Amino acid sequence: MTLDRIFEDIRTDRVKKIILDSDMANEMDDQYALAYCIGSKKLNLLSVNAAPFHGVKNLDQRGGMLASYNEAVRILEVCQKLDEIPVYEGSDREFTSEDNFAPIDSPAARNIIKTVKESDEIVYVLTTGCCPNIISAYFMDPSIAENMCVIWLGGNTFENVECTECNLYMDYRAGQFLMNLPIPLLMLPAMGPIKENGTQVLSVNFDWLRKIKGDKPQHDFFRKDFPIAFYGNKIDDTSTTWSHTIWDVAAPAVLTVPDAFTFKIIPAPIFGDDEKYAFDDTRRKIAYMVKLDKNIVLNDCFEAISNL
């Protein structure tokens, strides 16, 4: 699967088949990304995979994955889609150097293989957490790279010397595999010293959230109830100071509003063992996001959620 073919496909009007692979309980942006995937008329969300995380809420990798699974179920219930969209448990640990090229078997990894192999169209795996599920799927069946593209929200912008951010940190070895293996990849970096760069620009306040229209419970949930509950009722929707970044909505937006993004084709960066970037012009090519248009992305996201 070439990057040229992927970008050609992204710009077609075809409804894109997607899997959302997400650490759904780690933050509050994953929930908006899931609602975006469901509400967009340009996307066909086939399933949700639970990705692991650790160190948050005193959870280990398995506990984080199970919390992500349960949160995905809860959000699908809110969106009234639980009967239509399956959720799969993912990896219950992170890769280590001792694993070599052995997969971490899970229902999520097998779901990726089955979905890709049965599709006659490109399947986009939106990976908004760490990436052991996709790496394990590739180790089990490398042929999936022929009909799949991973859109991964991870790593920092290259202006940062240190590459590690949350999604990479949660399974650093899996991130190294993602850069080293011939898996078609669009990389959406998180943060950099320049505030206009990276998915960090996707900050919202209640003025933004009020762009979600509709009078159904799910609209109120995403417009005000969920962020207020996330902050333990320490804020209300009249707050003029609260804001939060919803990084993960960038992943579906690549497919729904591609003109909002500028990508550059580059040799895959090296995630060094010192957690710093290194570069080698002979490495395989990936697509790296240089910038995005916040207004286009967020307006499209909230229009999609209004469709719920």
Residue 70 in tokens: 């349960």
pLDDT digits (tens, 9 = 90+) for 158-215: 987 788 899 999 999 999 999 999 999 999 999 877 667 899 999 999 999 999 999 9
pTM here is: 0.96
Q: Report the pLDDT averaged over residues 147-158.
A: 96
Containing domain of residue 21, as a range?
3-306
pLDDT digits (tens, 9 = 90+) for 232-285: 888 999 999 999 999 999 999 999 999 999 999 999 999 999 999 999 999 999
Read off φ and ψ for residue 214, nearest 5 degrees.
120, 160
pLDDT digits (tens, 9 = 90+) for 104-116: 999 999 999 999 9
Q: How many domains does the chain have?
A: 1
Q: What is the largest CA-CA distance in the chain?
A: 54
- Is residue 88 within 8 Å of 48, Cβ to Cβ? yes
Query: What's residue 164's pLDDT?
Result: 87
Nearest of 181, 188, 167, 187 to residue 94 by alpha carbon = 167
C-alpha 15/C-alpha 13 separation (Å) is 6
CATH number for the domain spanning 96: value is 3.90.245.10
pLDDT of 37 over the 90 cut: yes
Residue of higher predicted confidence among 100 and 128: 128
Query: What's residue 284's pLDDT?
Result: 96
pLDDT digits (tens, 9 = 90+) for 41-91: 999 999 999 999 998 878 999 999 999 999 999 999 999 999 999 999 999
Query: What's residue 58's pLDDT?
Result: 81
Tokens 């993004």 correspond to what residue? 261
pLDDT digits (tens, 9 = 90+) for 281-300: 999 999 999 999 999 999 99
